[in-house]
Amino acid sequence: MGEGSREESLKIEEIKAIKLFIFLFYIVFVGFDIIYYYIYPSFFYVERGLPSEGLGFYMHIIFILLVPVTIYLIKNGDPYLIKYIYLFSYLIIDLINNILIYSGTDKVYSSGNIVEIFLLLFAPIFVNKCYFWVVSISMTLKYVFFGLLFQSMNVVVPIVLIVFFSLFGYILLSRFISYVNGMVSIYEESKQKEKLAVFGQMAASIAHEIKNPLSALRGFTQLQQEKDGSKENYYPIMLNEIDRINLIVSDLLLIGKPNITTKKRTSIKGIIDYVVSIIEHQASRMSIEIQMDIEDNLPGFYCDENQIKQVFINLLKNSVESMQNGGRILVTTRFRDDKFFITVKDEGEGIPQDMIDRLGEPFFTTKRNGTGLGIMVTKKIIEEHGGKFVIKQTSKEGTIIEVVLPNSNNS
């Protein structure tokens, strides 16, 4: 989901929550005053009506005037301020109303409105921690202020209730956030898998169509080079570019091929040794030293040997190509909790933080001449073996890549 559509979806959900919030707010606010000041006194034969010293019905009129403001903000695409406007409007109006009623009198402070509990319990619906804490803290401070202003201990019970409902609301908020994050993660993962599946089918079809004519083109280019006998470097350039295209096609075929693996028990140390023996010739020409720190007595590893070799060839090749000024690559292998932890640490240029999350996307690469398919293939193989691929950024000292592979016949 793009940033634009995501923002639009969040705005739509916020507007839905705001409409429900305002509807319930007026019902609770007005309903409480009707019941507390008019219906309840009828049963106990006490004076009915709002306190004459306070704002009276002006409170309700002020809140009715907020409706046009709400409509204006929704139409202008800024619904996020509305909940704060209602909260602070209530606090200010309640503050003025209570000062008018109790200030300069002998009346014992006794006030409150059930709408405050509504504000606390409804706050998690917005799935916004900032708003939740603003509601909880402002409600608590309101009663602390009234307790000090009117020298009343009657604020203790409301404060205790606010703390209780705040804890309850925080539990709800935490569950909502966890649920939303889980749903977003599942959606993004399923979308990525769907995208890769479609891409894999297209890649396989395209690669098969290109592979055969590409082989013929390379063969005829070599024949023409031998026949021509020219000392110009056109033919080597052509052959190099054909090989590069062939490499891309091979990666496309690997991405698109069905998930058929031939797994057997093998040595992870043997795989690492083999890969290093292949890469170290290229590394030595660039003044790069490859060191290995492999734990002794490692158990056998149940895997598709050729695929795992391809994984570490890709990783070490990337490390070598990132170290233009030479340096050291350290390959570490450990076995813990029935899992292999293989770490490749280089001293290259590193990867910009904002690009790490995009690695593995088709054709996205940080290298000038890269195809963007190597990491994609690598992640695909690791996931098919039930493992994890983690990139740990150390910008000043290169990049650390950790591969975690479970050692199980069921992987």
- The tens digit of pLDDT for each residue in 7-61 reads 788 888 899 999 999 999 999 998 888 888 788 777 766 677 777 788 888 888 9
Proportion of the chain above pLDDT 70, given as a percent: 81
* Pairwise pLDDT comparison (171 vs 368), residue with the higher score: 171
Q: Average model confidence (pLDDT) for the chain?
A: 81
CA 409 to chain centre: 32
Q: Which amino acid is at 19?
A: K
Residue-level pLDDT at 190: 72
Q: Which residues contact 384 (CB under 8 A, 6 or more apart)?
A: 259, 261, 307
Q: Is the pLDDT of residue 158 over 70?
A: yes
- Strand, coil or helix: what is 122? helix
Residue 171: pLDDT band by 50, 70, 90 thresholds?
A: very high
Nearest to 187 by CA among 6, 380, 389, 372: 6
pLDDT over threshold 50, residue 411? no
Radius of gyration of the chain (CA): 34
Sign of CA dihedral 312, 315, 321, 323: negative
Segment 71-103, tens digit of pLDDT: 999 988 889 999 999 999 999 999 998 898 888
Identify the pLDDT of residue 110.
79
Kindly state the DSSP code that residue 411 receives in the 8-state scheme: -
Return the amino acid letter for 219: G
pLDDT of amino acid 138 = 94
* 288 or 44, higher pLDDT: 288
What's the mean pLDDT in 361-383? 68
Tokens 């895997």: give the residue.
303
Give the pLDDT confidence score for residue 72 in this predicted structure: 92
pTM for this prediction: 0.55
Q: What is the DSSP string of 8-49?
A: HHHHHHHHHHHHHHHHHHHHHHHHHHHIIIIIHHHHHT---S
The amino acid at 124: P
Render pLDDT for 245-282 as a digit per residue (tens, 0 to 9): 776 676 666 665 555 567 888 888 999 998 888 888 88
357 falls in which pLDDT band (50, 70, 90)? low
Q: Give the pLDDT band of residue 410 (cuts 50, 70, 90).
A: very low
Please state the φ and ψ torsions of residue 347, each to the nearest 5 degrees: -120, 40
Q: What is the pLDDT of residue 163?
A: 92
130-145 per-position pLDDT tens digit: 999 999 999 999 999 9
Can you tell me the mean pLDDT for 364-371? 58
pLDDT number for residue 81: 92
pLDDT: which is higher, 243 or 331? 331
Mean pLDDT for 292-296 is 88
Packing angle between helix 129-150 and helix 82-102, nearest 10 degrees? 10
